[in-house]
Amino acid sequence: MLEPKVWQLTAGAAAVGLALAAGAVALAGPWDSGQRAAEREWAAARGRTAPDTGEAGPPRAPAPAPSAPGVLDAVGAPDAAAADLAAVDFAGALGPLLADPALGSARTAAVVDVATGKRLYGKDASRPMTPASTVKLATMTAALAALGPGHRVPTTVVATPDARTLTLVGGGDATLDKKRLGALADSTARALRGRHVTDVRVGYDTSLYRGPGRHPIGPNDNIAPVSALMVDEGRLDGSRRGPAPRSDDPARDAAEEFVRLLHDRGVGTKGAPGRQKPAKDAAVLCRTYSAPLSDLVERALTESDNDIAESLARQTALAKDRPASFTGAGQAVQGVLKKLGLPLGGARFADGSGLDRHDKVSASLLTGLLARAADPGHPELRPVLTGLPVAGFSGTLESRYANAAPAAGLVRAKTGTLTGVNTLAGTVVDARGRLLAFAFMAGSTPEPDAAQKALDRLSAALVPPA
């Protein structure tokens, strides 16, 4: 059983308007990621300031996560005044903010005490709405539940018995990059030299995935054609995140890059690589694996990576014996979440990334996903929490919350943005040391920047005063 660790960040930076306080929680596990290491280093650096700046001191030692009643008292150690607080008027605090015209004509909300499951605030919380990228919370939860946090996605080279015909077989690893493809070419060249083979034919196989590869939104800089084989997410500009020009055929490009890498290693090839199924008598020559699923989930959530999200939706479909297609993935995600006992009334998963406007989830489902990820009975789901962007610091929240003090550094949340759709779902620790899960969803929003600021203010209202 994987044992979660927790780090509380307690540092501040008045010069840039940020404040990290006790209770800004980053749950971690044995797969400790670079993101969490960076957060701890950043917090420590911000804490080493002169005493007259008014900033907080260095971060406290690691403390347990506020994810269950048994550990709540150990987190944040609320003082007597906080413990004696009267019942919080969530309706009074959130109602006027939710009425902001910037949130359009349709808005829903839910706030839940994660430890008890008690709903502290709700506004049409069961109403299904278009979630945009907050649907990734459902995709990632289902993938972790179906496959486990240690699952790795392979890319394989198979060879005929004479090793003169190779097939590059895509396993659905959207994070395969040129460096790892180069390592795969190294291993392939060594294996061929060992068999005294210097010239080969190369093909590639993407048959693991079914159905259309092009997302229903059509060609778009936010996602490549969904393929079981791709390198650098089909990006054509060398970028690593965010929108970018994409290849029309990422599988073919990956195979051509593999051929070029083989040439660099002294292996000749005959003709251009084409699509082919491996021969029946073909055997594995070498293989490379993705990072553990826990890392992929964190990256997908922090950066709102659509290519990884679609890949993991299909990995879930394969694990549940469904076709690895948009339809099969949606069915698999729904089935896994049903087994987890989550509220699925009106839910629809048309894709894994949230780019499809036919996706529908409720605020109750989003908070339920977050609460289940914090459940001590489901440690395999913890990366759903650790991958959430940190307000004013990381991922899609890096540039937000400048005018929503003191939330920067304390709110962790997944964003969702489409034209006319703005959503936010995440966690915060309140003045009593309770871990709260929240979800705010808005539709028909007139302007994205104003809507995002309104959502930031809503989540900031849950943060204890500085």
304 is catalytic: yes
| Candidate list 67, 247, 304, 362, residue with the active-site label | 304
pLDDT over 80 (residue 285): yes
Question: Does residue 74 carry a pLDDT above 80?
Answer: no
* Residue 70 confidence (pLDDT) above 60: no
Same domain (yes/no): 189, 277: yes
Q: Which domain holds residue 241?
A: 154-290
pLDDT tens by residue, 98-118: 999 999 999 999 999 999 999
Token pair recorded at residue 399: 């540039």
In this prediction, residue 465 carries a pLDDT of 84
Q: What is the pLDDT of residue 72?
A: 30
Please indicate, yes or no, whether residues 309 and 433 belong to a single structural domain of this protein.
Answer: yes
Q: Which of 5, 136, 360, 453 is catalytic?
A: 136
| Mean pLDDT to the nearest integer, 337-351 | 98
Statement to judge: residues 220 and 322 lie in one domain? no
245 and 135 co-located in one domain: no
Domain annotation covers residue 46: no
Residues 338 and 190 in one domain: no
- 33, 133, 290, 311: the active-site residue: 133
- Measured distance CA(50)–CA(150) in Å, rounded: 43
* Residue 364 annotated in active site: no
Domain end point (choices 275, 290, 305): 290
Question: What is the value of pTM for the model shown?
Answer: 0.84
Residue 162 covered by a domain: yes
Which CA distances in Å does 187 have to 192, 244, 285, 288, 370? 9, 31, 8, 9, 41
Q: Is 453 a catalytic residue?
A: no
- Average confidence (pLDDT) over 190-214: 97
3-class DSSP state of 159: strand
Q: For position 403, what pLDDT does the model report? A: 79
Is there a single domain that holds both residue 91 and residue 225?
no
- pLDDT tens, position by position, 373-427: 999 999 999 999 999 999 999 999 999 998 777 899 999 999 999 999 999 999 9
What is the per-residue pLDDT for 87?
Answer: 58
CATH number at residue 386: 3.40.710.10
Q: What's the domain count of the chain?
A: 2
* The pLDDT value given to residue 380: 98
Per-residue pLDDT reduced to its tens digit, 355-380: 999 999 999 999 999 999 999 999 99
The mean pLDDT value of the chain amounts to: 85
Name every residue whose Cβ is closer than 8 Å to that of residue 447 and which is 6 or more positions away in sequence. Answer: 102
d(CA 156, CA 284): 7
Q: Is the pLDDT of residue 61 over 90?
A: no
| Type of residue at 461 | A
Task: With a cut of 80, say whether residue 305 has pLDDT above it.
Answer: yes
- Residue 16 domain-assigned (yes or no): no
| 264 and 218 inside one domain | yes
Residues 280, 312 within the same domain: no
Are 252 and 393 part of one and the same domain?
no
87-99 pLDDT, tens per residue? Answer: 578 999 999 999 9
Write the CB contacts of 4 (distance below 8 Å, at least 6 apart in sequence): 27, 28, 29, 65, 67, 379, 382
Kindly list the distances between the CA atom of residue 267 and the CA atoms of 52, 100, 270, 278, in Å, as whole numbers in the listed order.
Answer: 65, 64, 10, 20
The alpha carbon of 69 is separated from its chain's Cα centroid by a whole number of angstroms, namely 26
More confident residue, 6 or 112: 112
The CATH code of the domain that includes 249 is 3.50.80.20
Among 239, 262, 290, the domain boundary falls at 290
What percentage of the chain carries pLDDT values higher than 70? 81
Domain assignment of residue 431, yes or no: yes
Residues 346 and 446 in one domain: yes
